[in-house]
Chain A
Amino acid sequence: QMQLQESGPGLVKPSETLSLTCTVSGDSISRSGFFWAWIRQPPGKGLEWIASISFGGDTDYNPSLKSRLSMSLETSKNQFSLTISSVTAADTAVYFCARDNFSRGGFPTDLWGHGTLVTVSS
């Protein structure tokens, strides 16, 4: 059974770069039909899609964040990663990694990690 687990710094200073990693267990990250995603949720607020990457490495980014984002796959480690540059307090959120299932109608995000809280503060 596939599982996802986020890892990250917990606390990042304003203007610095946030780096997050998601480790996938139970199956290969290279399986066709799946994309891999990052979604965030500021405290007390709703969900915001950040980015997705295909098993082949093609990326889609939220236009509102695109200039600060970079997402990558590391297939040898069965991991994918996200960096957000020039962070501000507005980037404080729980960050979830997740699986987008492109083999199902609607392409649902159907498997999620538990989430990791990232706070941006000096």
Chain B
Amino acid sequence: SYVLTQPPSVSVAPGQTATIICGGNNIGSKSVNWLQQKPGQAPVLVVYADKDRPSGIPERFSGSNSGSTATLSISRVEAGDEADYYCQVWEGSDDYVGYVFGTGTKVTVL
């Protein structure tokens, strides 16, 4: 099945930009969603369809997708952004129909 790879951790100082990558074979041809999960809580959708934000999600969260890498950027990082972030795609191929999650990236705010 399709595999999505993320770095285990990213550290960023407050006010700076956090960049989280999600690698997959020709991921640029797919539509990528991003979820934020804080400890003990359910995930929350922060970006869908590569770059769209649900209502209520700050503009500081932005996404892009091209080639073999999708990217979630968090600008002007705040302490409250510290969380695990997962990329997600829906895969519909001959051998797999369903969702695939990335391995997850823990964002630490220094």
Given A46-B103, A107-B90, A108-B88, residue A61 in contact with residue B48 (CB < 8 A): no
A105 and B52 contact, CB distance less than 8 A: yes
Which residues of A (91-122) have their CB < 8 Å from a CB of B?
A: 96, 100-101, 104-110, 112-115
Interface contact tally, CB-CB below 8 A: 75
Q: Could you say which residues of chain A place their CB within 8 Å of the CB of B48?
A: 101, 104-106, 108, 110
Given A105-B48, A105-B49, residue A47 in contact with residue B97 (CB < 8 A): no
Chain B residues at the A interface, C-beta cutoff of 8 Å: 1, 31-33, 35, 37, 41-45, 48-50, 52, 54, 86, 88-90, 95-104
Least distance between B57 CB and chain A CB atoms (Å): 11
Q: Could you say which residues of chain B place their CB within 8 Å of the CB of A52?
A: 98-99
Given A104-B49, A106-B31, A112-B43, residue A48 in contact with residue B101 (CB < 8 A): yes
Bound CA span A46–B50, Å: 21
Which residues of A (19-33) have their CB < 8 Å from a CB of B?
A: none
Q: Could you say which residues of chain A place their CB within 8 Å of the CB of B31?
A: 105-107
B97 and A60 contact, CB distance less than 8 A: yes
Q: Could you say which residues of chain A place their CB within 8 Å of the CB of B33?
A: 106-109
Chain A contributes a number of interface residues (CB within 8 A of B) equal to 26
Bound CA span A68–B12, Å: 42
22 CB-based A-B contacts, threshold 8 Å: A39-B99, A46-B104, A47-B43, A47-B101, A49-B99, A51-B98, A52-B98, A60-B98, A62-B98, A63-B96, A105-B31, A105-B49, A105-B50, A106-B49, A106-B90, A107-B90, A108-B33, A108-B88, A110-B54, A112-B42, A112-B43, A114-B42
B49 and A108 contact, CB distance less than 8 A: yes
The proximity string for A residues 53-68 relative to B, scoring 1 for CB distances below 8 Å and 0 otherwise, is 0000000111100000
A108 and B42 contact, CB distance less than 8 A: no
Least distance between A82 CB and chain B CB atoms (Å): 14
